[in-house]
Structure 1
Amino acid sequence: ALVELEAATPAACHPQPVDFSHQEQLSAQLQVFIPSDVFVREGEDAILPCRSITAGQWVKSVRWRRDGEVVLDVRSGKTTYGNGFDESRVSIPSDWHQRANLSLIIKRAEARDGGVYYCDIDKVEKHRSAVRLHVSTPPTPPSTTSQPTTTERDIQCVLSRFSLQRHRGGRRRG
């Protein structure tokens, strides 16, 4: 049996439950995926890289997932989309089978799009890669007001003879 661990952060793994009670012999395989990072600003297009040799190979399916949920799934030439995603926002290059480029393109990225995405390619040899998308929101511009930025104030200055003489370098007289 294959136990799949997905890490939300490099230090935290949450195993998916697997029933081993009927197994006489137990073997386990652990695959660790360290996601690459992609940084975009909100409103920009995000390209999450995924490449695999596809020339001359029959590709059964290509699937992009985030938090265990399907984002985009290509199977037998048919593309389906997960909740909150559609063809106006997510895609892979139309010539992916010729160029081996299965990168996920997210148009007009939003803060809620951030997270770890997995690219799974099912062919003769399975391929998986992981990408962490960071979407930054631009700072809120300061609000504009109609009040002036400077204020005029009267300042009272008191000058005494003593301070004037001293200031001028004069001597104090008796």
Structure 2
Amino acid sequence: MSQQLQAQPLTAEAFAPYGEVLEATGEADKIINQGLCGRFHDRAQLDFGPDGRAGISVFHGEVRLWPITVELVERHPEGSQAFICMSGHPFLVVVADDENGTPAKPRAFVAAPGQGINFHRNTWHGVLTPLHAPGLFAVVDRIGTTPNLEEHWFDTPYTVEPGQQCTSAGLV
């Protein structure tokens, strides 16, 4: 038996407690490259602690199909972590508030094409969940020698289905 979650479209307002949505919205802060490129400046607060540095890795995740089972969430106590889909496809983002060192009931979002996310340091989140092939992501996170991963397995897993807003928006 599992608990049910309905994924909603990812918005900056709803995601703000967990991190930043990386997207080119509103007006560009600067026009650069001979007037041919808008720069949307400083869209995420990268945080790698005193003993870490920024690194960019490429992840190749297996595509998941609806309904999606969430059995585990993780967090990174030493640094933020950003996911940027390199193929421009929607992907599932699962997050949870912290309740005395363990995750509360998760929330689920679907990132639209052109959106990425940056999890704040110590934010409980689901694993990388591509919804379309090829499942390639650029990941910006902390590189360091101290441990930076804590996992939590739910006693009862969650089953995530796309909410009506995701279906209406063509995100599934």
State the TM-score bracket (shorter-chain normalisation).
under 0.3
TM-score, normalisation: structure 2 = 0.23
Give the greater-gyration-radius structure (CA): 1
Flag the structure with higher strand content: 2
Higher relative contact order (CA 8 A, sep 6+): 2
